[in-house]
Structure 1
């Protein structure tokens, strides 16, 4: 008779990500490869009791892959891919509890892997359990799985289990494509952030529940403090550089391509701040990648031979889709996309992977995004159903303000990584929104490690048509190196510049910029008032609202 060790349930070492699509919740559980592939993933409804988690003892009738142990309900699901282990839960099967613990089920030999706790002694008379085998072994295996979950809750504290804890009332489940029912939308509140540099042994926050907040986690933990409160943001937009593949500029970075990307994302998943924000049902999270998900200032090389040999872009896009959007397999045709949240439209543009290589001979013609994406963005901006609504465009690279050196000498565009480094693209976009007189448009960006709010008026000097646009730029969540951070003096904050157009120009662009230095995130609220839409922009840091960090703009 085959004999085996009992099941052991462990919280994912590198955290959990959740997303909602097509009537199901997709769960990603990232764990180290030392224990092998898990037999199953468990969903355990729990509640806090001091520094422990206890199993909730009531629940609805179990689904086809669920079984009750007494009155406890534990859901079992089979992972669909290698780490991060992905499994889908139908919405109606999600436990009706405000805290749900994800555990991964392993068979672990005693004393192997440097375990913090040893597994139970095996029942040598029992057959090898297989969660998804046929009866009667399946019944025995599920019973063993429930027992393993109870063992984990008895032996492990919240510090051990935090990586698997999902928080939030399932009745308030958020998804980015939610629309308000009945009437037109009147209010939205969301957060904007970017640039999370990884911690090291000097600024890493310990696992202890009451540990002092480390600087690398402070901004995200401050955002987490706002969640769950009345009027909390229901959407988080991450504008890029969620990981730094090149964190040590190649000095200590892994040399194996797969490890470079995997280890960066796993390191991010261990962050206390990331766990506190990402593992929530009441917050939808949408992301776009920028250069550091690939490598510093990545752009298509102008040499076709070099482009064909560049494997970083493929690996970077695959890792981004896998770890940040829960997608595996064949790469999609493009990364840009649009959605609505609480009835308000958003367009997430890709200003990194489609940009053209630049040289001294083509800097004034190169594009920051492909023509198909640009065309889709323009059509999206002119949709009739969005005419009276605020429209938010996430573009990881900032549109405005321009860098001071570019403002003084346009040929310095080669030195800029933002939109002003691609004058053909930025002029085409400003021309379009002006000629179409687009209203209530707000651009959102990151990358410069400096918070700023721009209000710009673009005017066609021939026809007199105008457009007023706003651009909100979030500073880095954690950007510890001053030499890599933008400062206000790098930019032409207040200026008027002209750009030509042989067919319909010239155009005048008047720019006014306010800055809010330091790490943190932006909190944006758009609300409809009797006079029209109003935008509130509040720049926060780890201590709360920044000094002089609150702004109001009328959107009309």
Structure 2
């Protein structure tokens, strides 16, 4: 015999308060000490209807709420002084937007989402939903406020660079207790890099934003061995793991920071590349369409609205200005052409519209411009050793077909280098990830029979977490110090120009982690770029002179 459930009291009187599982974008401090944010809510709890911010403090390793001048354990809390505000459901139905007043001078505050489900007499109840399989971590709802300071004269905004976050498993994840404050010692190996980055964002307001160059999720985490058979299931599983990363949640909870995650191959499939023309229905394009859709919904939505709103979701590349510096975010994955031995010399990693816009953007970055940055998921240089070919070989491109980076598209790479030379773009810096090791390449370009040289840099970040050595590139794989020649395909003054490019590479061997880049101008007017590799093994600093 079944029993009817007891009727719930009026929803207008009652609610349940739960912190969000994660933030879909960093909270933004707006005018009037208001906090605006976009929050991914737990679908199993239903859509929240209101939200409230309350001050919170870490007291002897446990989170407590400051209420009425005293610290109160959350389970003992029966009423919240602050008035809740209504939330608005986003169009993707995965998140809500909310704008709340920040509670006084508190450095940290707990964002509670209120659900019209259960409470008694108007009091606030914090507990798990009946039958909820996982405890809701209090940590995931705590927002850290930092006040951005004015930049010192001659100093540009600093920013972080990272890529490649392999997901946590049973042995390398963070174990969280609902009311305990997370500390460094509790963080699992898989989440330490992003956790460390979150701490730096909280404590160093000069680091204004973070660029993640791709592979934030691994749809193919076990290379098909234990992955779900259906693509949508693999995508959902991968993004669930990504958003539950304790380090990512800390990064996303820093009010005032910005984050720019990009798409690369593991958001779709390892070394994804379309088939060349001539095929009928192409399931590889179906894979990319699904991967792009989830990327736009779950990662591109983290971009600041002011930047995200300048380009449609159908185009993943754009040029913009971030804190006084020009940036060009390339899409080197979804628009690349399929290659064969027949089209290898001219196949494009960007396709014509994006390539033309990038070359046009480069022409605006002359020798008197401030440092400008090209963000690319794929590394520009150095090349793999195999690209050198054998002495006297008729195939100087070596194994370009097996190379996933820019060097695997020699036509695109050579055009890029020639356009940098033409623009005399001495202050362009390329930023990339994907190879699972850190390096800085100094690239010197010269045209035969001309007396000038152009020097640009490529800064490559190590993986945030890459536990399997067989999947990581090694220093020995690269031509760290090499010179190669190429012909510019475009005619110049009626002649075909021949170029020489010399590459010299520094490998810091700092381990899994990220990089912090700090552009600045000296008293003599010269621009420099401090590059700090913050790795699991060590921190390494290099200063680049940007002519």
Superposition TM-score, scaled by structure 2 size: 0.82
Q: Tell me what 2:142 maps to.
A: 165
Q: Tell me what 1:523 maps to.
A: 516
* Deviates further, 477-486 or 510-519: 510-519
Distance 1:4 1:398 in 2: 58
Q: Superposition pairs for residues 446-465 of structure 1, below 5 Å?
A: 446-465=433-452
Distance 1:436 1:479 in 2: 37
**2:508 is the alignment partner of 1:508:** no
* Deviates further, 473-482 or 500-509: 500-509
SS state of the match for residue 497, structure 2?
coil
CA deviations over 1:167-213 (Å, ceiling 9, x no partner): 113x539xxxxxx89x9863231111000000100111111424533
Question: CA 1:107 to 1:551, structure 2 compared with 1: closer, same or farther past 3 Å?
Answer: same
Cα deviation for residue 104 of structure 1 reads 2.8
**2:512 is the alignment partner of 1:535:** no
CA contact (8 A) 1:185 1:343 kept: no
Q: Superposition pairs for residues 2-401 of structure 1, below 5 Å?
A: 3=9, 6-18=14-26, 27-35=37-45, 37-50=46-59, 51-54=62-65, 71-81=81-91, 84-89=94-99, 93=101, 97-108=106-117, 120=119, 144=122, 147-148=123-124, 151=126, 160-169=137-146, 171-172=147-148, 186-208=155-177, 209-210=182-183, 211-230=185-204, 232-302=206-276, 303-307=278-282, 310-326=285-301, 332-383=313-364, 387-401=368-382
Cα deviation for residue 41 of structure 1 reads 4.2
Cα deviation for residue 359 of structure 1 reads 1.3
CA contact (8 A) 1:31 1:83 kept: no
CA RMSD of aligned residues (A): 3.1
Cα deviation for residue 348 of structure 1 reads 1.0
CA deviations over 1:217-259 (Å, ceiling 9, x no partner): 1212222232233465221110100110111112222334333
Question: CA 1:332 to 1:82, structure 2 compared with 1: closer, same or farther past 3 Å?
Answer: closer
Distance 2:217 2:80 in 1: 44
Cα deviation for residue 463 of structure 1 reads 3.2
Cα deviation for residue 262 of structure 1 reads 2.3
* Deviates further, 12-21 or 207-216: 12-21
Cα deviation for residue 266 of structure 1 reads 1.8
Q: Tell me what 1:443 maps to.
A: 430
Distance 1:240 1:552 in 2: 25
Superposition TM-score, scaled by structure 1 size: 0.81
Cα deviation for residue 95 of structure 1 reads 5.3
Q: Tell me what 2:541 maps to.
A: 550
Distance 1:87 1:227 in 2: 23
CA deviations over 1:298-351 (Å, ceiling 9, x no partner): 112215424366322111111111111228999623111232232112111110
Distance 1:365 1:528 in 2: 39
Cα deviation for residue 55 of structure 1 reads 5.4
Question: CA 1:247 to 1:25, structure 2 compared with 1: closer, same or farther past 3 Å?
Answer: farther
Question: CA 1:87 to 1:259, structure 2 compared with 1: closer, same or farther past 3 Å?
Answer: farther
CA contact (8 A) 1:479 1:519 kept: yes
Distance 1:102 1:449 in 2: 35
Distance 2:475 2:371 in 1: 28
CA contact (8 A) 2:41 2:96 kept: no
Cα deviation for residue 103 of structure 1 reads 2.7
Distance 1:21 1:318 in 2: 29
Distance 1:363 1:492 in 2: 21
